[in-house]
Amino acid sequence: MTFWTMTIGFAALAGLPPASGFFSKDAVLSAVEHGTGPAQPFAYASALLTVGVTGAYAARAWLRTFFGPARVEPLAEPSPGVAHVFDGREAPRSMLWPAGVLAVPALLLGLAGSVAGSVAGSATGVEVEWGPAAVSLAVALLGAGIVYALWRAAPEQDPARLLGPFRVPCERAFYVDAAYAALVARPVLRLARVVVRTDTRVVDGAVRGSGRATLGLSGLVRLAQNGNAQLYVTGLFAGLVLIAVAAVVLT
């Protein structure tokens, strides 16, 4: 089931008929081909190059996952002497059923839309322009064919070796992730740490300080408000004496 669902997914990704990706890719290429402006040739060439590259890396992943001799691949974060072998075992059912369900529209949704549009004659149906579709299909198969030829000649080696010195930049996504981490992720994390420290020491500190001040003031007030009637009377008389003394002195 893993093999067939991934095969359908790769076919949709590469835009091979009758997978749904074929129809969506044809719509994009048709729109670019009928576009106008000085950038139209560059946009169309870029679109075709993308089609070929997509067919190539889909074929590479498909071949290296399911065909050829068994091999050992390092883990994503390798430890000394740690590796895993692709032994062909299926994934758990919790992962297989979603893949199986999604494989059905990936295979048939575009075809169903095309048939429905043809039968109903609706402008909203999926219409295929077979000229651009044939060109894009040939380009996708060319990319997949080059990868297949390299893999067939040396199944134990990665067809990506064809990229030569460009392989590392491609594997690292042309260093976009590294630039994003340096320019965005790390500065935002540093700012977040400053905000956390400010919130902990300033905002929370002010709240805790006001609480401690209130507790200290309540301790002073409690000394006078202790429920001792004699203390209250004594305080009252002391106040009267002070008022009388003040009145005599001031007059």
pLDDT digits over 125-144, tens only?
Answer: 567 777 788 888 999 999 99
Q: What is the dihedral of CA 239, 243, 248, 251, to 10 degrees?
A: 170
Lowest mean pLDDT across 23-27, 47-51, 127-131, 184-188:
127-131
Average pLDDT, the chain: 82
Q: What would the mean pLDDT of 40-48 be, rounded to a whole number?
A: 90
Asked whether residue 162 is domain-assigned, the answer is yes
Can you state the percent helix, strand and coil of the chain, rounding each to 5? Answer: 75, 0, 20
Angstrom distance (rounded) from CA 198 to CA 113: 57
Asked whether residue 173 is domain-assigned, the answer is no
Q: The whole model's pTM is what?
A: 0.62
Lowest mean pLDDT across 164-173, 188-197, 214-223:
214-223
Angstrom distance (rounded) from CA 137 to CA 71: 31
Q: Please answer whether residues 19 and 106 qualify as being in contact, where contact means their C-beta atoms are separated by less than 8 angstroms.
A: yes
Out of 102, 134, 168, a domain closes at: 168
Asked whether residue 209 is domain-assigned, the answer is yes
Q: Please answer whether residues 155 and 67 qualify as being in contact, where contact means their C-beta atoms are separated by less than 8 angstroms.
A: yes
Query: pLDDT digits over 92-123, tens only?
Result: 888 889 999 999 988 888 777 666 555 555 45
Q: Give me the domain span that covers residue 240.
A: 185-250
Q: What would the mean pLDDT of 189-211 be, rounded to a whole number?
A: 89
The reply to whether 71 and 116 lie within a common domain is yes
Asked whether residue 142 is domain-assigned, the answer is yes
Asked whether residue 75 is domain-assigned, the answer is yes
**In the chain, how many domains are there?**
2
- Most confident option among 18-22, 57-61, 81-85, 235-239: 57-61
- 83 pLDDT band, cuts 50/70/90, is very low
Angstrom distance (rounded) from CA 6 to CA 12: 10
pLDDT of residue 251 exceeding 50: yes
* Beta pairing, strands 83-85 & 72-74: antiparallel
The reply to whether 46 and 141 lie within a common domain is yes
Q: Report DSSP letters for 118-143, one per residue.
A: HHHT-TTS----HHHHHHHHHHHHHH
The reply to whether 72 and 163 lie within a common domain is yes
- 51 pLDDT band, cuts 50/70/90, is very high
- 71 pLDDT band, cuts 50/70/90, is low
pLDDT of residue 157 exceeding 70: yes
The reply to whether 125 and 236 lie within a common domain is no
| Chain Cα centroid distance, residue 228 | 69
Of the chain, the percentage scoring pLDDT greater than 90 comes to: 27
Asked whether residue 238 is domain-assigned, the answer is yes
Q: What are phi and psi of 72, to 5 degrees?
A: -110, 130
Nearest CA to 11 out of 98, 97, 109, 92 is that of 109
Residue 54: what pLDDT?
Answer: 92
State the CB neighbour count (10 A cutoff) for residue 17: 16
The reply to whether 202 and 160 lie within a common domain is no
Asked whether residue 179 is domain-assigned, the answer is no
Asked whether residue 49 is domain-assigned, the answer is yes
Out of 116, 142, 168, a domain closes at: 168
Residue 60: what pLDDT?
Answer: 92
Q: Please answer whether residues 160 and 143 qualify as being in contact, where contact means their C-beta atoms are separated by less than 8 angstroms.
A: no
